[in-house]
Amino acid sequence: MFIAEFIGSFLLVATVVGSGIMGNNLSPNNTAIALLGNTIATGAILFVIIKMFEKKSGAHFNPAVSILFYFKKELKLDQLLSYILFQFLGGIAAIISIHYIFNLDIYQLSTHSMRVENAPWSLFFSEIIATTGLILTILFVRENDKNSVAVAVALFITAGYWFTSSTSFANPMVTTARMFTDTFTGINPICVPYFIFGQLVGVGLSYLIFNSFDKD
């Protein structure tokens, strides 16, 4: 199951970063077109990797999702730590690989300024919304129609790219990995704590919201 998390995380980050580089190379003066290409590729790969590995590891590819299932007692602590480790290893391996195939410097640190660089707490709230929405999507769709989780997650993230100021990372592993690429999808290290803090708050908030429905 841990190898599945490694491969899925690798493919997710490779697609996010690689499609960002390709989109920006093809449309260097049109950020909207580059972001659209990045969005479509990310939504597509999410559907594919969830369908590939949902019966092997649960198809988390996201520490926030793994933490959720630890809260739900579907993962033990040692499993949670192993999931997170292999997710991060997959993400970093993807960054190295994508930089290599696009003939870029292997080691990079993002110098990007986010769209709201002067208001970092707006990024924090954006990621609370994004992560809460993602986790609630997983929980409610899983409860109502487990076979539709892949398409629901893919569609939520596709939409999230366009309605959140942070472009809906909703994933601490992806956030951290993107810190190490100074390309279209890079994120300035200064912003990383705000993103991850918001994502973790989103996990807790979505867990509380979902459980509140059981009391109705």
Q: Please give the pLDDT value at position 19.
A: 97
Q: How confident is the model at residue 133 (pLDDT cuts 50, 70, 90)?
A: very high
CA angle, residues 191, 192, 195, in degrees to nearest 5? 90
Contact 216, 131 (CB under 8 A): no
Q: Is 89 helix (H, G, I), strand (E, B) or coil?
A: helix
Among residues 49, 21, 20, 25, the alpha carbon closest in space to that of 36 is found at 20
Percent of the chain at pLDDT exceeding 70: 96
CA angle, residues 127, 95, 104, in degrees to nearest 5? 125
The DSSP call for residue 53 is: H
Residue 147: other Cβ atoms inside 10 A: 10
- In this predicted structure, the answer to whether residue 177 has a pLDDT above a threshold of 90 is yes
Phi, psi of 15 (to 5 degrees): -70, -45
Report the phi/psi class of residue 105: left, alpha or beta, with left for phi > 0 and alpha for psi in -120 to 50. Answer: beta
Q: Please give the pLDDT value at position 103.
A: 97
Q: Please give the pLDDT value at position 36.
A: 96
- In this predicted structure, the answer to whether residue 151 has a pLDDT above a threshold of 90 is yes
Q: Please give the pLDDT value at position 216.
A: 56
Among residues 79, 54, 73, the alpha carbon closest in space to that of 4 is found at 54
Among residues 16, 23, 84, the alpha carbon closest in space to that of 45 is found at 16
Q: What is the mean pLDDT of residues 183-193?
A: 93
Range of the domain at 155: 2-213
Q: Please give the pLDDT value at position 215.
A: 62
C-alpha to C-alpha distance for 10 and 5, rounded to whole angstroms: 8
The DSSP call for residue 169 is: -
Among residues 2, 190, 203, the alpha carbon closest in space to that of 89 is found at 2
Q: Kindly report the CATH number assigned to the domain that includes residue 130.
A: 1.20.1080.10
Q: What is the mean pLDDT of residues 38-67?
A: 97
Q: Please give the pLDDT value at position 117.
A: 54
Q: Please give the pLDDT value at position 118.
A: 56
Quote the mean pLDDT of the chain: 94
Q: How confident is the model at residue 1 (pLDDT cuts 50, 70, 90)?
A: confident
Q: Please give the pLDDT value at position 202.
A: 98
Number of structural domains (the chain) is: 1
Q: Please give the pLDDT value at position 121.
A: 84
Q: Please give the pLDDT value at position 122.
A: 87
- In this predicted structure, the answer to whether residue 52 has a pLDDT above a threshold of 80 is yes
Among residues 131, 130, 126, the alpha carbon closest in space to that of 116 is found at 126
Q: What is the pTM assigned to this prediction?
A: 0.95
How many C-alpha atoms does 59 have within 13 Å on its Cβ side?
22
- In this predicted structure, the answer to whether residue 115 has a pLDDT above a threshold of 60 is no
